[in-house]
Structure 1
Amino acid sequence: MDREEISRIAHTDHPVKAPLGDDSVRELLRHALPRGDERVLDLGCGPAEWLLRALTERPGTRAEGIDLDAGALAQARERAEAAGVADRLTLHHKAAEDFTPEELFDTVLSVGAAHAFGGLLPTLDAARAHLAPGGRVLIGDGYWESEPGPEAVEVLGDFADLPTTLDKVSAAGWTPVSAHLSTRHELDAYEWSWLGSVANHALDHPDHPASPDLLALVTTRRTEWLRGYRDSFGFACLVLRRTHEGP
């Protein structure tokens, strides 16, 4: 079972692939889409949960998403049809660097996908290339709430603390206009949902050849979380505008 399929299983009950509750997502979209008629792009959209919520709650928006996971895009198309918003959603099965839109976007999203671009700042560079003047970026990535142990760094990578993260964002030419720091409840709820969805899938399909590996994965991730990064990892979503417009 490949990584993409495991991810789809893991997010069965938590379609937003980040430690955020529904109210937090709604509030972040309110700040990222202040007019309600924006053209929106999601870099690394997966099943396009952010775009589907934006399109459903803001009938004037139009959206495009990019992802390399064909299965996730198929899921997004199916859900868009069911929600009656498919006519306002365009999905692209390609790498972000191969995407050349005819128009720039009012809002660019990328939440929990920075690893695919090589980190937070490269993700912002990718977003900048598609952002119209006066536009906004909604980006979500991890940071260290406290000094991490070596196990946490090995599992998640080497983030910075929150002040350093914001210093880097500002130095790259961005000004935060809104933000959300995931609460302990959101962080824990996300992990339990991930673990529970994978465990339930394995237990519901005991004869599937992948089930023992899925249960082993649950045990490994639970240990990494509780004994590794739970006390040090944080997640921040930032709504950003360019400090200075222009090339």
Structure 2
Amino acid sequence: MPEHPGSAIVRQMTPPEIAPLHEDLTFHGPLSEERAARLIRSLLPLDNAHVLDLGCGWAELLLRTLEAAPTATGTGVDLNAADIARATANAQARGLTARASFHATDVAQWQPDKPADAVIVNGATQVWGGDPLHHTTNALTAARSLLRPGGKLLLGEGFWEREPTEAQLAAMPIPRNQYGSLADLVDLAHTHGYRLLAAEQASLDEWDIFENGHGLAWERWLRDNPNSEHAAEIRAKADTSRNYRLRGWRGTLGLAYLTLLAP
């Protein structure tokens, strides 16, 4: 899926400072505790394996994967330095520093020093840049080049749960052709040589929890700074994001979680 329209605003951390998303969200995506545990199990076994999480945010899914695989190591890469600092602090607090490393850099420019046994690209196909219509293909291609033969890709990517109406498309910054159906997404993965091991999708409840977490940072700031010179600007951004959600993609844009076996 494209980066949430609120993310760039929350992540910039320029005045006025908005609270980081991890204060209200466990995962940077529509993902429950139960589903996260199930997705991690789909990557196992990871004995003595190396896991890459690209566009990792604060890397909660990677850290939990390492906790489930005590001999595995992991690397998280994300352009946002604040998120990487949070990931590093969490790794230290959970005793994972020796097995987890993090890089605040552009994924498209970063090169690992060894092949991975598993790659996670969760709602982050945009990190390779380019035309949004090519984001999924870019991610599938890049992940395959990073994986050893027989490795696994955990791909969290958008798809249309139902055909968006013209009114919905007009209300959200996502071109119709950026996504197809869930079956189309799986077929695309297969054309890149992968085989599907498991497929599921975020529920509406998971989406709502995620979207609510995005909105809370703005609303809390507006509550605490009603007379700020920036209040009108922040209110407009919050209102735009809310309309993207409620008049655009809610109940129409899905997020698929695919566990894929690399050739």
Normalising by the residue count of structure 2, what TM-score does the alignment of the two structures yield?
Answer: 0.84
* Corresponding position of 1:84: 95
Q: Matched residues, percent identical? A: 30
* Corresponding position of 1:116: 127
* Corresponding position of 1:155: 173
The answer for unaligned runs of 5 or more in structure 1 is: none
Contact 2:19/2:217 (<8 A) preserved: no
Is 1:30–2:25 an aligned residue pair? Answer: no
What does the per-residue CA deviation read over 1:78-125, in whole Å, with 9 as the maximum and x for residues that have no partner?
121111111111112222233232211110001011122241111111
Contact 1:11/1:197 (<8 A) preserved: no
Q: Which amino acid aligns with 1:227?
A: R
Contact 1:28/1:180 (<8 A) preserved: no
Cα distance in 1 for residues equivalent to 2:53 and 2:80:
14
Cα distance in 2 for residues equivalent to 1:46 and 1:121:
21
The offset of 1:36, in angstroms, is 4.7
Cα distance in 1 for residues equivalent to 2:57 and 2:26:
10
Distance 1:205 1:82, change over 3 A: farther
SS of the residue 1:192 aligns to: helix
Q: Which amino acid aligns with 1:177?
A: L
What does the per-residue CA deviation read over 1:132-155, in whole Å, with 9 as the maximum and x for residues that have no partner?
121100010111011112454442
Is 1:141–2:157 an aligned residue pair? Answer: yes
The offset of 1:2, in angstroms, is 4.4
Contact 2:46/2:69 (<8 A) preserved: no
Cα distance in 1 for residues equivalent to 2:92 and 2:123:
25
Contact 1:151/1:229 (<8 A) preserved: no
Contact 1:10/1:195 (<8 A) preserved: no
* Corresponding position of 1:93: 104
Cα distance in 2 for residues equivalent to 1:103 and 1:163:
32
Cα distance in 1 for residues equivalent to 2:248 and 2:108:
34
Number of aligned residues = 243
* Corresponding position of 1:4: 11
The offset of 1:165, in angstroms, is 1.5
SS of the residue 1:223 aligns to: helix
Contact 1:32/1:239 (<8 A) preserved: yes
The answer for unaligned runs of 5 or more in structure 2 is: 1-7
The offset of 1:205, in angstroms, is 4.1
Distance 1:8 1:161, change over 3 A: farther
The offset of 1:49, in angstroms, is 1.5
Cα distance in 2 for residues equivalent to 1:8 and 1:92:
22
Normalising by the residue count of structure 1, what TM-score does the alignment of the two structures yield?
Answer: 0.88
Contact 1:111/1:139 (<8 A) preserved: yes
The offset of 1:163, in angstroms, is 1.6
Distance 1:105 1:96, change over 3 A: same
Where do residues 1-247 of structure 1 align in structure 2 (5 Å cutoff)?
2-5=9-12, 9-117=20-128, 118=130, 119-153=135-169, 154-157=172-175, 158-206=178-226, 209-242=229-262, 245=263
SS of the residue 1:129 aligns to: helix
Please provide the CA RMSD for this pair: 2.2
Q: Which amino acid aligns with 1:58?
A: A
Contact 2:199/2:257 (<8 A) preserved: yes
